[in-house]
């Protein structure tokens, strides 16, 4: 295990830096600079003044512009009781991987559900369809943003595989996960807060298989039900909640010491007009602060990643099963002078 902890340290010392901050570029890089300094190093950065020419930056702050442009568009809205779509939630005494109730509805109705801040409401709506929804469901807004990010497309040698729209409120949260894409994430209004961990920190995420479950929402009763998928299906998912509730805090800290006691995650806030380069395979957790109209809007561009030697190394690392060992007898047999939270690699 010491070798794996040394790896976390070394990638920070040699490449990512030890401050826990994500580098900010004042202006978009050239394709060469982007490729050489960030993509090749699998290193995130934030690019300021990246989208100032997009009409979206001014027009999407106006609800009536959006509802008129999309008056006849149906969009996919994700509904959950607490704002955590695709996340671990308790069911019958254990945790399951719960997917949101997804409903297609006219955009004006969807926007009013997203920005509905009634404190007694038990429903959190998040427009977060991830199937290249921007050019399809939101095609009326296509002229408000660039169809791709030119310096990124040139550096990566391709156009994006998918462009997605994200419209959420202060409760919308995305739990820790990773994607097999190079991600250019542009915030249009409101702010997004990311926690990031490099792929080399995979063992700190405690990825486990969870039974998959599905929320259903009844508009008549205003209640959600959550049921396990039939036939059973298991989803490998990160176990760590980096912002546990006060009641859950001690349990999280003691169950996931490698996350909570290890190097701090990279933390950044992405503002309107900025793009986060989120490299492929990085673990990310996302929260948001809405604008004065109660919503955060972002558009992201997923580019295919290179399945190269870094990918092969990562798969190898992930295949080494490290267990956080709590049983003193087992610890002693594996690593004589370890503390009570020692590790075994098998």
Ligand X SMILES: O=C(O)CCC(=O)C(=O)O
- Give residues in contact with ligand X (CB under 6 A): 166, 174, 179, 183, 185, 192, 284, 286, 298, 300
* Residue 64 C-beta: closest distance to ligand X, Å: 25
* Residue 327 C-beta: closest distance to ligand X, Å: 36
1 versus 197: smaller Cβ distance to ligand X? 197
* Residue 192 C-beta: closest distance to ligand X, Å: 6
37 versus 179: smaller Cβ distance to ligand X? 179
134 versus 166: smaller Cβ distance to ligand X? 166
H-type helices in the chain, by residue range?
A: 2-11, 31-34, 56-59, 63-69, 107-115, 133-137, 150-156, 249-255, 257-261, 309-319, 328-334
Burial of 346 (0-12, 13-18, 19+ CB in 10 A): exposed
Phi first, then psi: give them for residue 75, nearest 5 degrees. -125, 165
78 versus 101: smaller Cβ distance to ligand X? 78
The CA-atom distances, in angstroms, between 270 and each of 33, 129, 203 are 21, 20, 27
* Residue 282 C-beta: closest distance to ligand X, Å: 10
Q: Which residue lies nearest ligand X, judged by its C-beta?
A: 174
Give exposure, 215-253, as e/b (b: 16+ Cβ within 10 Å): bebeeeeeebebeeeeeeeebebbbbbbebeeeeeeebe
76 versus 343: smaller Cβ distance to ligand X? 76
Collapsing DSSP to helix, strand or coil, 298 comes out as: strand
* Residue 286 C-beta: closest distance to ligand X, Å: 4
């Amino acid at each position: 295990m010491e070798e794996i902890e040394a790896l976390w340290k070394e990638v920070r010392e040699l490449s990512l830096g030890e401050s826990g901050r994500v580098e900010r570029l004042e202006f978009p890089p050239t394709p060469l600079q982007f490729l050489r300094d960030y993509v090749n190093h699998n290193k995130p950065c934030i690019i300021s003044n990246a989208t100032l020419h997009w009409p979206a930056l001014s027009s999407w702050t106006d609800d009536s512009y959006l509802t008129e442009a999309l008056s006849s568009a149906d969009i996919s809205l994700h509904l959950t009781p607490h704002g955590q779509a695709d996340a671990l939630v308790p069911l019958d005494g254990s945790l399951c991987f719960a997917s949101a109730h997804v409903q297609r509805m006219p955009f004006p109705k969807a926007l009013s559900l997203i920005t509905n801040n009634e404190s007694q409401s038990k429903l959190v709506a998040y427009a977060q369809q991830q199937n290249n929804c921007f050019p399809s469901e939101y095609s009326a807004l296509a002229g408000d943003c660039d169809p791709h990010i030119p310096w990124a497309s040139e550096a990566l040698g391709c156009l994006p595989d998918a462009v997605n729209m994200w419209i959420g409120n202060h409760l919308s949260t995305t739990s820790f996960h990773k994607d097999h894409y190079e991600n250019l994430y542009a915030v249009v209004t409101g702010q997004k807060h990311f926690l990031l961990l490099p792929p080399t920190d995979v063992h700190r995420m405690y990825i486990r298989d969870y039974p998959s479950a599905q929320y259903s929402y009844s508009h008549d009763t205003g209640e959600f039900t959550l049921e396990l998928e039939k036939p059973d299906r298991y989803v490998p998912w990160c176990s760590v909640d980096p912002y546990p509730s006060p009641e859950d805090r001690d349990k999280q800290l003691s169950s996931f010491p490698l996350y909570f006691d290890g190097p701090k995650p990279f933390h950044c806030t992405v503002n309107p007009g900025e793009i986060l380069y989120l490299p492929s395979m990085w673990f990310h957790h996302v929260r948001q602060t809405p604008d004065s109209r109660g919503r955060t809007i972002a558009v992201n561009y997923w580019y295919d990643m290179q399945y190269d030697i870094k990918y092969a190394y990562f798969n190898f690392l992930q295949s080494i099963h490290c267990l956080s060992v709590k049983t003193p007898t087992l610890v002693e047999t594996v690593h004589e002078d370890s503390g009570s939270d020692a590790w075994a690699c098998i």
